[in-house]
Structure formats: C-alpha cells, structure tokens
Structure 1
Amino acid sequence: MSKPFIESAGLPVADEVQGTTPENVLESVAGVARPLVLRGYCDHFPAVQAAKQSPQAMAEYLLQQYSGHAVNGCFGSAEAGGRVFYNEDLSGFNFETRRVPLGVLLDEILASADVESTPMRYMPSSEVGYWFPGFAAANDAGVNSVSPVGSLWLGNKVRVAAHYDFPNNLACNIAGKRRFTLLPPEQIANLYPGPLEFAPGGQEISLVDFYDPDFERFPKFRDALANAQIAELNPGDALYIPGMWWHHVESLDTLNVLYTHWWRDSEAFMGRPTNALLHAVLGLRNLPAHQRKAWKALFDYYIFDADEGAAEHIAPAAQGILEQPLSLEKAMQLRAKLQNDLKR
C-alpha cells in the first residue's frame, strides 16, 4: 500500500524549542504567533509513564481517573479509513455517536489492535473536570493561571480533518504517536472549508482529504501545502498551537490520547468571535459589492486596523463602546443591545 499523500509530501517541520517546562511555558509562548513543538514537555506526567508501559496500562490509568459518566463514542466502519468526516452528500457523518461507558470504548480499541481493517473508534473532546476529575491535578501542564479548558481525546488510528480553534492550545501528547499538519489562518481559501453550521466536531473543517487530495476539485490546495508544516509528536511531547491556526491531526498507534488546554487572550465576556462572523453573514454577505466594500472600510477602521489611540479625538466620557480596553459594564450593555436588536 502506498503512503498517505501527506506523509510523503516532504513538508518542513515546525519549530522546536528546548527548555520549556510547566514552570515557564506561559512566558515562553506569550505573543508567539507560530506553532512550537515542546519536546519532552510532559514526559514526567504519570499518564505518559503509564502509556509508555503499554496500551493496556494506559487504559487502566484512564479508568482509574474516570468519573463513571458515559462518554461520547464515535463508531465508524473500517471503510472510513479512520477519517472523521461527512457522508457522501454532506447530509450527515460517516460515523455514529453513542453514549457508552469508557470501558466499552477502550475494550473495542484494544481489541482492534491486530485487526487488518480497523473500524474507527474515537472519543472527541471530553472535559477532564467532568469525565476525569483527578487527571488535571495529577498531570499539571502549568497553565492554570489562564483558566484553560482541559480536555482529553482518545481513539485508535483516527484522523481529524483540518480545522481551526479560536483559543490558543497547549496539546500534550499522552499516548501514541501523533502527526499534525499545520497551516496559517490566511490559508482558509486554499483549504475549501465545509458548512459553517454543521461539522463533525462543531467547527468547520477542510473538505480536502489530506491522505488522497483531489487536485482537480481542490486545485488551490497546492498553494496551502506550500505554506504547511509538520509536527510529529511522541508520548511526552507537546505542541503549542496559536489560536486560528488550521491543523489536521493523525493518531498513528493502537491507543492514542491527547490532553489539550484551550485558553483565550481576551476576556470571556467579550463573547465568541464566531458570533460576529455569523451576524455578518446575516447582515452583510448579501449586500451589493459596493456596499460590502464600504462596510469593509468601517470594519478596518473600528476593528482590524484600530489601535488604542483610535478614539482619542472623542472626549473620554463620550467614547462609549469605543473605549480601550472595553470594560465589563460596557460589554454587558453592548450584549444587551445586540440581543434586543436581533429580536426585531
């Protein structure tokens, strides 16, 4: 069998840094706008040490940390080739999601280790506080001060289509080898994203199969590859992914476990930027081209090219929502106004 395309594409590797530890990680990644591989970053985690013993030891460790709540298990056929994706007409997905005990999912993963055509078995993002309440304290990644959302992902040989996440991510590779293909945010047009409101993981994904790309249907994907880089992680390695970077993720072993930490650089009361995008689809997308151009100028002035001095010509008491930084009080007033306006 020939190698998957992405494995033989000869892409450059992501930057690696040495000496980053949980004690200095936030200082090391502050303001960094590119992915960084942190070799051996989490090698001391008890979870990683269990994973290095065997897949069975890893499964036992997870069960010791498990709360007992049913997990979301994704079950796909061997024909899917491990790809978490849509069905043929994008009306549904190529897997079934069922709520099952963690042990059931782990047993199926371990049982499939020696199966030539392996059915897809996968647990997507699962918050450790709910499903694995002791895991974070035992495996401290050093980012508690930014109040991250910590989640575990596990499965067999699964590949997740390229997508982006708004928050920054410190992804600690616990078990199995994992390959990330990373692309900067401006490559969106070359990645052919699918539906905004309907995707396997909730976030829009690239429709390009990185294992077997159809360059006739997706010709601009060649331009995306010219800007791509690869990060290959062993158990105990970590990867810092800045918010908005696209990443295609492959799990390459019998049992693979990833521990992610998401945090944002702005206050939570600012809301999700995706909401602004959806509102713009509603209010701006169907305007005539000359009006969209005019609104683009407004967005550039107030948002994308704005700096802290943009409202200096307005008396401070009259700046309203243009104040920098936006206060909680003003943010709540703005949210209330938007909610009222959307009811009309």
Structure 2
Amino acid sequence: MGQPFIETAGLPSTDEVEGVNPGNVLASVVGVTRPLILRGYCGHFPSVRAGRESPRAMADYLLDHYGGRPVNGCYGDASTGGRVFYSEDLSGFNFQTHRVDLRALLEDILASADTAAMPMRYMPSSEVSHWFPAFADANDAGVGEVSPIGSLWLGNRVRVAAHYDFPNNLACNIAGRRRFTLLPPEEIANLYPGPLEFAPGGQEVSLVDFHNPDFERFPRFREALAHAQLAELEPGDALFLPGMWWHHVESLDTLNVLYTHWWRDSEAFMGRPTNALFHAILGLRNLPEHQRKAWKALFDYYIFDAGDGAAEHIEPDARGILQQPLSVEAAMRLRAKLQNDLKR
C-alpha cells in the first residue's frame, strides 16, 4: 500500500501515555476528550503473541476461537488499491460481501500476500460474543465494567475512509501495523461527508481519498489537515478514541487484526443520537431560514447550552422531560410519544 499522498511525517503525533494497563484503563480515560495511544497495552494478550509469530499463527489462533458461524467476507479487486469505498456514481460499493466460512477468508488473505496486485479482502467488525465466543476471556482488555461491545476486524492491506463512531472506542491492535489519521469532530465541513443513509460501513464517510486528495474538488480538506494528527500502532499497542472523532484507518501488513471495545457515556435507554439528527432533517431542513434560526435557538437553549439552566426556574416536580438527568420512566414516555407522532 505504501505511504499515502499526504505527507504523514508532517502531521503531529497523537499523545501517548505510559503506565496504563487493563487494571487502570477506565480511570485513565474517563472524561478524556482527545485520542490517546497506549503503548504496549495489550502486548501480553495471547492473540498478540500469535500475531507476532506469523500471519499463519495468527490465522490459526483465530480459527481456534472461531465459533463456526459464517462471517461477512468483503471482496474487492486490486484496482481498489485497498480502499473501502463507493462505486464511481455512489450507487453501490467497490466491493462485494458474501457469507463465508472464516477459514476460507483467511486462506484467501494469506494466499494473496505475495501477489503483485493484492485484492481487497476483509471481515468488517464482528461481535466476538457471536463469532468468537472464547476470545474475550482469553484477551481481557479490562473494560468489562462499562459493558462494551467487543468486535474483531481483520483483513489484508485495507484502508477505511475517514468516518466517526458515536461510542468511545478502546482499539487493541492485535496483529499488523496500523495507521490512524485522526481529526476532531469540528472538522466535518472540511471532510466532505458522503450520503448519511448509505455508506460502506453503515456510517457516513469522507469522500476525500486520503492517498490522493483532489484539492480542486475538496479545497477545504487542506484546512482539515491543519488539525489532523497521526497514530501509528504496532502489534500490542492500543488507541483510546473518544466518540465522534473522525478516523481514517490503514492496515499495513499481510494479516491485520483489530479488537475494538465500544461503549457510550450515556444510558442505552436514551437512544441513538443519529435518530435525533434524522428526525431534525425530516422536521427542520425544509423550513425557511428565519424559522431554522429560531429552532436553532431552541436547540441551543434546551440541548446544547442547557446545563441546569433551562429548567431551574420550574419547580422540580413540574419539570417533566426537562429533569436532569432524564429518568428511565420519562425517557420511555418520550420514546412512546415520538413513536406515536411519527405514525401520523
């Protein structure tokens, strides 16, 4: 895959912290709002030891912990350059997904290692509890207290377009070297995101090719680069990635494996914030500008700048859904009201 067009040497490195381990990681990252590299964090994992031995040993380790259910195998030809992306007209993708046995996918990846034009081969994030039931116990990242969703991603030299995820993520680099180009949430306008409801991994991605950016088509991307930082991980390193940070991810070796742990800072009953965004698109985007500005003031007052101020003048027992924090009961009533309103 080689170096991207962007001169990565010119990007500042992500902050690194020492002394963080699975025994103290949550205390170390609570409230942290910038990415952190945790060097050697998971170097003691048996999976990391297998990966350091050889790609074949890594594949055997994964198969030893594989539950046997077919996985999603993603296949693109060499012309993609390993870039997971759309078709040229954004009507489809530049790869196909098939349900396959993990053994077949791994053999395909290993067999393609020495080919002159390497095809794209990968398994997208797959929950370990479903596909690799014994993996979590053998490779404990120490974040069970927050009940994360643990997933494995594996593939050859694949690069995933810049995107963000809502939850926080402790990403343990199990096998292969990995390069993250990280950008703060505020850079969204400079990253030219694609369609909201149709994306290669389910989450909207930047349309900019980080290996060959078209600055004529995407001129504001230069401003995004002024705020970018680089995290390069060796096997056994981990990256703490706060929710909503954009990340472009490159896998640099024959067989690359990433073990992610996603968790949110709010209760699950609060729902997905994306739902609120979609509802706002439905209800607000077509309004005249002066009305959108009026609603922006309401959102700032009740949501973004609220704190306790939006309801402090109301008697506590009368605050309803303005109570802070919102109770489970109030959230369920609000959810039921929204569901009923959307049926009209």
TM, length-normalised to structure 2: 0.99
What is the deviation of 1:153? 0.1
CA deviation map 1:255-305 (0-9, x unaligned):
000000000000000000000000000000110000000000000000000
How do 1:45-194 residues align onto structure 2 when only pairs under 5 Å count? 45-194=45-194
**Who is 1:205 aligned against?**
205
Distance 1:256 1:104 in 2: 16
Distance 1:7 1:149 in 2: 34
User: Which amino acid in structure 1 is aligned with residue 181 of structure 2?
Assistant: T
How do 1:253-292 residues align onto structure 2 when only pairs under 5 Å count? 253-292=253-292
**Who is 1:33 aligned against?**
33
**Change beyond 3 A, Cα 1:156–1:163:** same
User: Which amino acid in structure 2 is aligned with residue 312 of structure 1?
Assistant: E
> What secondary structure sits across from 2:122 in the alignment?
strand
> What secondary structure sits across from 1:5 in the alignment?
coil
CA deviation map 1:119-178 (0-9, x unaligned):
000100100000000000000000000000000000000000000000000000000000
CA RMSD between the two structures: 1.0
User: Which amino acid in structure 2 is aligned with residue 121 of structure 1?
Assistant: R
User: Which amino acid in structure 2 is aligned with residue 226 of structure 1?
Assistant: A
Distance 1:338 1:4 in 2: 46
Moved over 4 A (4+): none
What is the deviation of 1:317? 1.3
User: Which amino acid in structure 1 is aligned with residue 69 of structure 2?
Assistant: H
TM, length-normalised to structure 1: 0.99
The farther-off stretch of 305-314 and 110-119 is 305-314
**Change beyond 3 A, Cα 1:328–1:125:** same
The farther-off stretch of 311-320 and 296-305 is 311-320
**Who is 1:237 aligned against?**
237
User: Which amino acid in structure 1 is aligned with residue 310 of structure 2?
Assistant: A
What is the deviation of 1:11? 0.7
What is the deviation of 1:308? 2.5
The farther-off stretch of 284-293 and 6-15 is 6-15
**Who is 1:44 aligned against?**
44
Distance 2:7 2:16 in 1: 19
> What secondary structure sits across from 2:16 in the alignment?
strand
User: Which amino acid in structure 1 is aligned with residue 13 of structure 2?
Assistant: V
Q: Percent sequence identity over matched residues?
A: 78
Distance 1:168 1:137 in 2: 21
What is the deviation of 1:310? 2.8
**Change beyond 3 A, Cα 1:7–1:139:** farther
What is the deviation of 1:10? 1.4
What is the deviation of 1:9? 5.6
**Change beyond 3 A, Cα 1:19–1:8:** closer
Gaps of 5+ in 2: none
Distance 1:7 1:86 in 2: 25
**Change beyond 3 A, Cα 1:9–1:88:** farther
User: Which amino acid in structure 1 is aligned with residue 124 of structure 2?
Assistant: P
Q: How many residues align?
A: 344
